Amino acid sequence: MLENYFPILLFILLGLAIGALAMGFGWLFGPNRPDSEKLSPYECGFEAFEDARMKFDVRYYLVAILFILFDLEIAFLFPWAVVLNEIGLFGFIAMMVFLGILVVGFIYEWTKGALEWD
């Protein structure tokens, strides 16, 4: 019975070995020339190598939550579109109510200035 799982184990071990080998080659033969431009903050707005308990703007969290909210909308739209013929008019109306609530939330966030970046 366990011999049926041997190809899966072999596949996992081979994948890990190839990944480790590729990372090792990159670390061993890749150039390592850090300069001030490479060590500068990128998209986060604060220095990357400071105290982890420092305060920073709450807008980072707000943008992340808004992204997750509107990205989750797409996760509901794809399965709905696939089964639209099966669920009929009730499913269509239910999705329109769902999208209406999201549009109202989006307009609210827009008017409150949550999408503005100063």
pLDDT of 6-45, one tens digit each? 999 999 999 999 999 999 999 999 888 888 777 776 666 5
| Residue 21: how many other CB atoms lie within 10 Å | 10
- Average pLDDT, rounded, for the chain: 83
CA angle, 75 as apex, 73 and 78 as ends, to 5°?
105
Quick check: 63 and 95 in contact, CB under 8 A? Answer: no
